[in-house]
Amino acid sequence: MTTAVLFDNVSRHFGAIRAVDRVNLAIAEGEFFAMLGPSGSGKTTCLRLLAGFEQPTGGHIEIFGETAEGVPPYRRSVNTVFQDYALFPHLSILENVAYGLMVKGIGREERRKAAEDALAMVKLPGYGGRRPGQLSGGQRQRVALARALVNKPKVLLLDEPLGALDLKLREQMQEELKSLQKSLGITFVFVTHDQGEALSMADRLAVFNDGRIQQLGTPEEVYNRPRTRFVADFVGSSNVLSAKLCQALGLNAAFASLRPEAVAIAPPMNGALSLSGTVASHSFLGATNRIVVDVGVDGARIAVASPAARGAPAIGSPVTLSFAAHDLHPMEDA
């Protein structure tokens, strides 16, 4: 499989701050890859290194086998979609989309046709004569996407492009972006701090913190088998069981992750593990109730995600929690 993007021991320092610290990463051609992490974790700096807006302090970057260090942005086979869209308010939508082609010296008729095709691709046919101020946020996001795609990049970089949209529209655009990426076959590198976006769209993802990759894998691997407490807490919510609590369950004395949806308030069956405790709190979350149970071992509290239709036991009620041993995942650190 062809490697689209390669980071080989890449670092980017700003004085004493290590924004990116010895990152190693290979992204395959045609992959939808997400860089996930909180603000300041290094994910956006990695994207800027790919785009050519930053240069590495150390290490080596390749884009489809070609060295990227020292190559200006306009000579790289990448395009970027920004969170703020960066559309020219005084130009029409068609002129915005065709702008990159104009800079490249493409003829007027050819770039008009290419821009119209790109707008049709993002489901905005017939919008070319309007101005950005006449469009909704979701439509402007599509225009920014069309402007990037019209240049036929080998790699499309997306810097939190859905962050300014409301929840309903964001979910819709997640589906459309994924579908578009599959139909085009272009490598997408998507930066986000929203774990729901990364899990729903990415073929693989890298979880960043403090300039380093904490874990790399498929959404299922990262969610179900977090390597560190940071990953367990950041990618969804997770119960972190202490070594003492695991030992009380008859398991090896190591910190482990246990997702709330893997826990049931019910007597154990078929060899499941169990804990007794008292309901400390509960919250209604729409489809589910989040029930927190004080189990009285090492000060631990276990969160349970239970279908809302089942109701929630009263605060102070004694309950039994059960879960399968295979849903407990030891972590490298806590």
Residues 176 and 107 in one domain: yes
| CATH (domain of 63) | 3.40.50.300
CA dihedral 98, 99, 101, 103 (to 10 degrees): 160
Q: Which DSSP symbol is given to 297?
A: S
> Residue 41: what are its φ and ψ, rounded to 5°?
-85, -15
Residues 192 and 241 in one domain: no
Question: What secondary structure does DSSP assign to 99-141, as a single string?
Answer: HHHHHTT--HHHHHHHHHHHHHHTT-TT-TTS-GGGS-HHHHH
Residues 207 and 85 in one domain: yes
Residues 254 and 217 in one domain: no
Residues 37 and 101 in one domain: yes
Residues 209 and 101 in one domain: yes
State which of 210, 228, 246 marks the end of a domain: 228
Predicted confidence (pLDDT) per residue in 219-260, tens digit = 999 999 999 989 998 998 889 999 899 998 988 888 999 999
Residues 126 and 244 in one domain: no
Residues 15 and 119 in one domain: yes
Written as tens digits, the pLDDT of the chain (334 aa) is 799 999 999 999 999 999 999 999 999 999 999 999 999 999 999 999 999 999 999 999 999 999 999 999 989 999 998 877 788 999 999 999 999 899 888 999 999 999 999 999 888 998 999 999 999 888 888 898 899 999 899 999 999 887 767 777 788 888 888 988 998 899 999 999 989 899 999 999 999 999 999 999 999 999 999 999 899 989 988 899 998 999 989 888 889 999 999 999 998 888 899 999 999 999 999 999 999 999 988 889 999 999 998 889 999 999 999 999 999 999 886 5
The model's pTM is: 0.88
User: What is the b/e burial string over 234-257, where b = at least 16 CB atoms within 10 angstroms of the residue's CB?
Assistant: bbbebbbbbbebbebbebeeebbb
Predicted confidence (pLDDT) per residue in 82-99, tens digit = 877 788 999 999 999 999
Cα–Cα–Cα angle for 218, 223, 225, nearest 5°?
90
Residues 9 and 136 in one domain: yes
| CATH (domain of 294) | 2.40.50.100
Would strands 155-159 and 187-192 be described as parallel, antiparallel, or unpaired?
parallel
Residues 61 and 29 in one domain: yes
State which of 206, 228, 250 marks the end of a domain: 228
- Please tell me the total count of domains within the chain: 2
Domain that holds residue 286: 237-330
Cα–Cα distance measured from residue 55 to residue 72, given in angstroms and rounded to the nearest whole number: 10
Residues 296 and 182 in one domain: no
Residues 192 and 310 in one domain: no
Spatial neighbors of 269 by CB under 8 A, at least 6 apart, are 322
Q: Is 17 helix (H, G, I), strand (E, B) or coil?
A: strand
State which of 186, 209, 228 marks the end of a domain: 228
